[in-house]
Amino acid sequence: MSIDTVVVSKDKLDMLMPLIVEQQYDCGKEVDLATTRTFFEGIVDNEASFQIMAAEDDVAVGFVMVDPIPNLQFADKVAYVHDVFVTESLRGVRGIGAILMVAGFAEAMRRGYEFAEGETDPDNRPARKLYERMAKKLGIGCKEVASVRYLVDLRPGIERARREPEYLDLLATPQLLSRQSARPGADS
């Protein structure tokens, strides 16, 4: 049995959806299948973003997502490789994560991306080694850069905006974050 990879298109969504549901459950998220499917219908068949699915015997066993991110350092878009996911029963067994990453990097190169970015926790040595191995296999460069990524949970703000319609307009005013307005006795 072999693992095949394919760029996900709308006609492959039925095959991918059970794996997406598994990934969301693994992340502790309650799954709304209709919303999730609508989301993926909106992002597949996109020229800039793409998803690669690994399949065995017409069953999805893994996927990776790749999206463009603007990068001022390179003055170009960078392919952001993220959400590498392999079904639990096959994790660490057959190199499916590596297969997905190589397929993601290869497709990014096909689409003209000159740089790709991925991330992992600093203490995740297996993932860090995986990036280095994949770069070597592809004959491309890979360097570790120090950075911190933040995931900002906007949901409390959304809830507040539902209760207070003027809240978002207030947030958008420059005075809100101005150092001048933060000083005691500063004019409001």
Q: Is residue 171 part of a domain?
A: yes
Same domain membership, residue 114 and residue 35: yes
Task: Name the residue among 57, 32, 53 with its Cα closest to residue 44.
Answer: 53
Q: Is residue 28 part of a domain?
A: yes
CATH number at residue 24: 3.40.630.30
What is the torsion angle, in degrees rounded to the nearest 10, for the CA atoms of residue 46, residue 50, residue 51 and residue 52?
A: 120
How many folded domains does the chain comprise? 2
- Averaged pLDDT, 34-59: 90
The rounded distance, in Å, linking the Cα atoms of 16 and 10 is 10
Same domain membership, residue 93 and residue 160: no
Give the pLDDT confidence of 48-104 residue by residue, as tens digits.
889 999 999 999 999 999 999 887 776 677 889 888 899 999 988 788 988 898 888
Give the pLDDT confidence of 16-25 residue by residue, as tens digits.
999 999 999 8
Domain range for 180:
152-188
Same domain membership, residue 47 and residue 113: yes
Give the pLDDT confidence of 119-172 residue by residue, as tens digits.
877 888 877 888 888 778 777 778 787 776 666 777 888 888 899 988 888 877
pTM comes to: 0.75
